[in-house]
A and B are shown apart, each in its own frame.
Chain A
């Protein structure tokens, strides 16, 4: 095998247009229009009550006070006492009203956020499943996991805390501005003098924070990567007593992330405090100029009071803008990172007019197939052609890096050939739906991924509804049944990261059972018996021969005994078929195959 994809990084780093990102997030939230509507409605109700409560309290003071002013009649004492009771009831009602409406809008905001988080998670999951092998080879799983966890969270938080509030604040500020300019244009403009500054500061801070968030999320991805590898390779770490070394490695990334976080705190602190201060400065100017006007008799104290009251309505929204900038920045950075993946078009997908494959004969043909890995500058396989009929076996042998596995991966379209075509029953495999093609073609991989689950679940991975007897039958074929029967929990035994550790050979047999169970039309063993002893392998082959007389089989192996019975054998070197024929024919050629045969036999003889 050679180094592939060393230079490319298949992932686009970020989606730079933050407005598009916002637009998309907002569009997603618009789907929840009733929640949005009631959310905003209840924000207004709740702030209405918030304004009403102080008025009621003022009223109460007046009620108590007025009476003292003209203490003439007892009845008016009763009147004001009754009035006090009335206010008390109103206070209670408006407090409850305020609490309930606040509860509603907080809940609705969170509900929209959670729903969008859920939607994004599903979209992301779906996309990752469809992206081709070539994409997955170029990205680190730690990065993908970070995006799926932290970036989804970033967008969710943005929706939850910012969307409803954004609409509310915009309305509030708009109304305040209108009222102030209407009351007194000069003072109105003065009192709004902070707006340009806030607009500028908010924009610049948002941009700075956004690039900071991008950098930070990238760093957190790197941190995930470091931690993930450490946990995955914990035995190596322990074997080398490299805990200290690993901590250093971690600390380096962690400290870089911390520096970015601290930088973020700095940007945030200065923008929050500058924004509220600019508001206060405008207020001070209004106070100074308005005060002089009052003294000069141009306006009444009442007018100035009203003016400042309007202004103080704006105080809270302005402060909140300061707080929201960070949410915006994080939302746009996270959105950019996540959408970058959601927008990837899997380069292998169903073609238009593709249909389900109907395998009749199971004839497989390669026509002048060449393939180059993305970013690689030389062909991994070059002009490969061959044909096998139903029930026949093709053997592929060759030194490491000769392109054997690549051929295996082209048939179920894990990759598409750069040139030439692959036909099943004389039809280009691109005409079939991916799903049906991959049901018809099964690759038994050399490196088998074990899911953390019972043996039974792992075997039934491709068909989770398989009946027990079918699972057991395929383990018999794969010569694994005896081993499983001896385990204390038999088929329920847990394997995978946390389960019993299976030996390489056992894992490969499990992988064979997994594939055989699906009863594919074409089965490809990609060096998947390397760790299985020759005797067991022979047994498996015999079992399968009876079972799969109609199955087309490809065996890729470096061990000649695994494939010398094949109807046809290709000897691959540097991506080219250099020799082909059956075992006897190849021996007669007296070339590479013969050399390899001698090498392997001589070794065996010596032992």
Chain B
């Protein structure tokens, strides 16, 4: 079947597209609109660099003074030593000497202000990204479940980069601000009335600003969001490029991406329009102010109310006064753009962390490795419990197998032992202590988890086996690899344990990845292990290895296994049969068979794995024996 290109069918219905959804999704996650004061928040990141900021400000002030004094010195050279009648070469030398002195100060202060402000700016940027990243390490998994990593990446990189532009111009903004204050003081001091008149346009400017800000904010935020959508679509395409090429989706995707990119272009141009509109506004206002000074000042001079010199000074200052205001206007656009990014950054930082250590939380190293669920009820969405009133106990050294159809709550049960989520009701104890009283870190140290889909990081094989476990010797790594039966394979690789893995370990087969993740858990050597057996029937060669590795891994530990293979299930000390979030049976294999309940019915179907049992068959059985 041939598919017409998107452009050829643009008049028809739009294609079913994945990226289209992206914009709507983002709103849900950060539903609460950010209301905090971005600037204030921002300064909290600048504050730690007080030690650099104060000399930087001094440098800015010196730089501003010397920048103003250089033309003044030149003017004085003409006024005093080159005025025509009393040419004085010594005076010339004196002034030129002063000029060079000013240059030296100018140089030093210029260098220092750039250096100090620049460095503080970079530190602030990196600190903000680190704060975001660190926060993401602590927010609950339920938040992470809802968030696409591509979207977060766009905030971690794109928005931080957008802030950079702002910070680079910060040094000028500070200088301009200092200058404005200096000039205002001087003008008021020269002539109070004229000074006030000059500033008569400032309230108007502020008023326009106040009207302008909401529009600007909206436009700049829109530009950032559309840009983030474009990044997200790009990331999605990069990650799924095999599917894209395999399904020849290139043309459709290109056209869809084009829509997003055009939307971003339009939003960016609109933001830019709203931004630059302030330029003629400020210039018109400054034109009015200049006009006022010219007329009122001129008339004052005409009436002899002020000296000509005062008017000259005013005319000079008014020029200097509006230039920094104008420059600040341009910086303000950058600032607005930065605010939009800042908002998006603080949104991430403000995601509440609901899982924290209690004060005087317990280190569980000394606890007996038993697990107990007491009346546990839990769900991901309000009013939709996934687990209902779960009760069971695993004694130290015992292995229990969790079985049940897809969606019965097996994975949720295991996730709770590790406190990935907060339970609604009931209590989970390890060694008789409520896990919410145990220090999270020590929980992680003592409870290993092997996930159904092994996730490997890029890096060497040995790095992946050791991962975050401390004080692991090379021998321990090899022993672990040997124990799970992956050592021989690794030794055949060109760089052996130092072989670099591609992204997500894609250069290894799933089975091998599985074995390495076993080795990773084995190296950790914790007393409790939670294991989600892979559903995929890995090739017969590797599968035998995995079965053996599993035995090694579970030996002498308290274990909770989501078991799919009957062999694993049978070896367990106890079997818990879950259905629709409830425990319907728990006993040993022999007793369960004797009881002739759901477990018996399922096993008697003679499938090699519980997951192999077709859904309609399970349905039939459970309909026949409701709530055994």
Contact = CB atoms under 8 A, between A and B. Distances in A.
B468 A240 contact: yes
Contact of A308 (B74, B273, B308): B74
Contacts of B1: 439, 463, 518-519
A91 interface: yes
A246 B145 contact: no
Nearest to A502: B406
A411 to B, nearest CB: 11
Given A129-B250, A239-B449, A482-B616, A452 B468 contact: no
A272 to B, nearest CB: 6
Interface string B227-258: 00011001111111111111111111110011
Contacts of A141: 235, 238-239, 503
Interface string B275-287: 0110111111011
A255 to B, nearest CB: 8
A96 B137 contact: no
A91 B287 contact: yes
Contacts of A345: none
Interface string A245-274: 111001100100110011011101110111
A268 B494 CA distance: 45
A288 B92 contact: yes
Contact of B234 (A102, A145, A304, A604): A145
B558 interface: no
A241 interface: yes
7 contacts: A125-B261, A128-B241, A150-B161, A240-B469, A240-B524, A242-B467, A283-B99
Nearest to B162: A153
A118 B262 contact: yes
Contacts, number: 513
Given A114-B268, A439-B1, A254 B92 contact: no
B457 A114 contact: no
B385 interface: no
Contacts of A462: 3, 247-249
B158 A149 contact: yes
B444 A239 contact: yes
A261 B283 contact: no
Contacts of A356: 2
Interface string B414-443: 000010100000000000000000001111
A6 B507 contact: yes
Contacts of B100: 281, 284
A328 to B, nearest CB: 14
Contacts of B84: 301
A295 interface: yes
A519 to B, nearest CB: 5
A48 interface: no
B205 to A, nearest CB: 13
Contacts of B156: 224, 227
Contacts of B308: 61, 64-65, 68
B418 A122 contact: no
A599 B165 CA distance: 65
A291 B96 CA distance: 9
A534 B406 contact: no
Contacts of A456: 16
Nearest to A456: B16
Nearest to B100: A284
The 10 closest A-B pairs by CB, nearest first: A241-B444, A95-B287, A99-B283, A533-B612, A464-B15, A99-B280, A245-B468, A453-B18, A242-B468, A265-B118
A508 B147 CA distance: 24
A127 to B, nearest CB: 11
B297 interface: yes
B301 to A, nearest CB: 4
Nearest to B126: A258
Contact of B302 (A77, A400, A534): A77
A449 B245 CA distance: 12
Contacts of A98: 283
Contacts of B254: 122, 125-126, 129
Interface string B101-126: 00100110011101100110111011
Contact of A148 (B234, B282, B319): B234
Interface string B135-155: 011100100111111101110
B240 A449 contact: yes
Interface in B314-345: 315, 318-319, 330
A44 B146 CA distance: 53
Nearest to A128: B238
A295 B87 contact: yes
Contact of B418 (A91, A133, A238, A464): A238
Given A231-B144, A533-B614, A240 B444 contact: yes
B122 A261 contact: yes
B350 interface: no
Contact of B231 (A130, A148, A312): A148
B58 interface: no
| Size band of the interface chain B makes with A | 35 or more
Given A136-B242, A291-B96, A438 B248 contact: yes
A129 B542 contact: no
A547 B387 CA distance: 41
A122 B302 contact: no
Contacts of B145: 498
Contact of B82 (A244, A304, A534, A559): A304
Contact of B542 (A400, A464, A466): A400
B23 to A, nearest CB: 12
B37 interface: no
B244 A99 contact: no
Interface string A96-112: 10111011001100110
A317 interface: no
A175 interface: no
Nearest to A460: B16
Contact of B17 (A94, A464, A506, A559): A464
B312 interface: yes
Interface stretch (A14-22, A79-87, A202-210, A420-428): A79-87
Interface in B604-619: 606-609, 611-617
Contact of A270 (B111, B234, B244, B566): B111
Contacts of A277: 103, 106-107, 110
A463 B3 contact: yes
Given A91-B290, A295-B87, A498-B146, A150 B157 contact: yes
B539 A399 contact: yes
Interface string B213-233: 000000000000000001100
Interface in A52-72: 53-54, 57-58, 60-61, 63-65, 67-68
B144 A111 contact: no
B566 to A, nearest CB: 5
Nearest to A231: B149
Interface string B498-511: 01101110111111
A196 to B, nearest CB: 19
A111 B129 contact: no
Contact of B157 (A103, A149, A157): A149
Interface string A314-358: 000000000000000000000000000000000000000000100
Interface stretch (A166-174, A360-368, A440-448, A582-590): A440-448
A280 B302 contact: no
B21 interface: yes
B395 interface: no
B148 A497 contact: yes
B458 interface: yes
A397 to B, nearest CB: 10
B619 to A, nearest CB: 9
A554 B104 CA distance: 80
Contact of B298 (A84, A126, A401, A539): A84
A430 interface: no
A111 B319 CA distance: 30
Q: Which of A100, A148, A231, A280: most chain B Cβ within 10 A?
A: A231
Contacts of B78: 301, 304-305
Nearest to B141: A238
